[in-house]
Structure 1
Amino acid sequence: SQLVRSPGVYFNDKVDKNGKVGYGSTVIPNRGAWLELETDSKDIAYTRIDRTRKIPFTTLVRALGFSGDDEILDIFGDSDLVRNTIEKDIHKNPMDSRTDEALKEIYERLRPGEPKTAESSRSLLVARFFDPHRYDLAAVGRYKINKKLNIKNRLLNQTLAEHLVDAETG
């Protein structure tokens, strides 16, 4: 089999020793850090940045600024997978906000042994994923992601949640 290194998003599934199916995806940029997402047999979602040790997916979401459990449930829906992942992502240091704690945990995974502060952690995350000189999907990667996720058709065929004009009164 060939190795996949072309920019885009790739989905996979695997059966563990208990017969439970686990799902995963890998976002491969043209330039920058790979982002892997996976579920395990206990119905918990994890993420890996550049093949580091896995962390609960909600840690990455919290590091991006969505720190509240209710906020995460609103974004991703109220499912067992999301609830189990939130339970796994425990708040260890009450002196830090959830966002700062998540940033420090990611920094610890990416740069073990270095002193971690919320500001250095934030700048590392911004540099890894939001700096166009260090992270780039390229046109082909963006095209493949849009095609695989059917983004164009979903945007073109959107319907309003509520009617703007009353059918009876005009």
Structure 2
Amino acid sequence: MSSVPDQPPAKVRDIPFHVGVARWRQSLLDIITPLIPLLDAQVEPWPRVFGGPYAITTRQIRSPWTAWLHQAQHGQCFWCHHPLSTKTRTVEHVLPYDGAVWPTASRVEQLLSLRLSHRACNAAYAVWRSQQDPAVLNKMDERLLHLIQQTIRAHPIFQLYGYQQHRPLALLHDG
């Protein structure tokens, strides 16, 4: 019996990093569909995860969320689809933490934008982004955030968690 190695492919630079609408929409459905009944029933820890304060760093993202992502992604890297382990995985900011879109997103939108990936794939994604036209990347990020917002609007339970008092500081100062 052979096992698939818990490593990204040798040529991470060959991974297609552009995130299309269909792929992102399916990824969102994989994450939220089984979560909706748990949120609706107030099953812990989900009310605390979604109702918690704004996360400044990925270290502040509660471990139940990373475990949920691991389950929803079927234990596979978001980018290369190879198996992940706790030793090789990292939280991937598909919407970059230092980008223009991240600070405008609500806590729920931010959580729904995170995925798990291999550290090497995460680093390759950062390199790929650095080589792309910023205007094109901004449009991609805005489109991904728009799809997250559509998903939240389609599921009232996420609207309840998304509009609690915990909002990014950038949004509080705009009003």
TM-score class normalised by the smaller sequence: under 0.3
Larger Rg, first or second structure (1 or 2): 1
Structure number with the higher helix fraction is 2
Structure number with the higher strand fraction is 1
RCO higher in structure (CA 8 A, sep ≥6): 2
Q: TM-score, normalised by structure 2?
A: 0.27
